[in-house]
């Protein structure tokens, strides 16, 4: 049984056994923080649009900016976020920098998000 109360909900543990059992299965905070950090990258429309473009083809910064009708700077900033998350990689050819996907799982995750959105649409 849970012996002590946290600073909150101090009056009673409503379901002590359940709490005890699940508390043993919790991931370290470091892991849950990393997972949240990873998904945060997908939680921005600009980055989703960039990824969608890169699913189709490797592409340079200027062309992405043109396609999405956004500033080169904005795209460059977001590509850095994607790069730091290990989601895209780049290669240089002269002064042109080509970005492409760096993780096979990304497309699958993306598609599951797309599916969820589409199913939610049907329900309405």
Q: In the range 11-40, which residues lie near a second copy by CB under 8 A?
A: 12-15, 18-19, 21-23, 25-27, 29, 31-40
Q: For DNA, how many residues bind (rule: CB under 7 A)? A: 33
| Binding at 1: pick from DNA, a second copy, none (beta carbon under 5-8 Å per type) | none
Q: For a second copy, how many residues bind (rule: CB under 8 A)? A: 68
Q: Does residue 6 interact with a second copy by CB under 8 A? A: yes
Q: In the range 77-116, which residues lie near a second copy by CB under 8 A?
A: 86, 96, 103, 105, 108-110, 112-116
Among 18, 27, 32, 71, contact with DNA (rule: CB under 7 A): 71
Q: Does residue 94 interact with DNA by CB under 7 A? A: yes
Among 3, 8, 92, 122, contact with a second copy (rule: CB under 8 A): 8
CB-CB contact of 70 with 86 (8 Å): no
- Got the DSSP string for 44-100? SHHHHHHHHHHHH--EEHHHHHHHHT--HHHHHHHHHHHHHTTSEEEEEETTEEEEE
CA proximity to 51, closest of 114, 97, 117, 122: 114
CA proximity to 38, closest of 98, 92, 91, 105: 105
């Amino acid at each position: 049984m849970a012996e002590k109360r946290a600073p909150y909900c101090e009056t009673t543990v409503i379901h002590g056994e359940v709490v005890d059992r699940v508390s043993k299965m919790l991931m370290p905070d470091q892991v849950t923080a990393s997972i949240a950090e990873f998904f945060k990258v997908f939680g921005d429309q600009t980055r989703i649009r960039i990824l969608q473009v890169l699913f189709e083809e490797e592409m340079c910064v200027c062309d992405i900016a043109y396609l999405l009708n956004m500033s080169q700077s904005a795209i460059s900033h977001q590509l850095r976020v994607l790069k730091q998350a290990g989601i895209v990689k780049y290669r240089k050819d002269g002064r042109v920098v080509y970005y492409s996907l760096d993780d096979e799982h990304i497309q699958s995750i993306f598609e599951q998000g797309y599916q969820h959105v589409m199913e939610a649409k049907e329900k309405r």
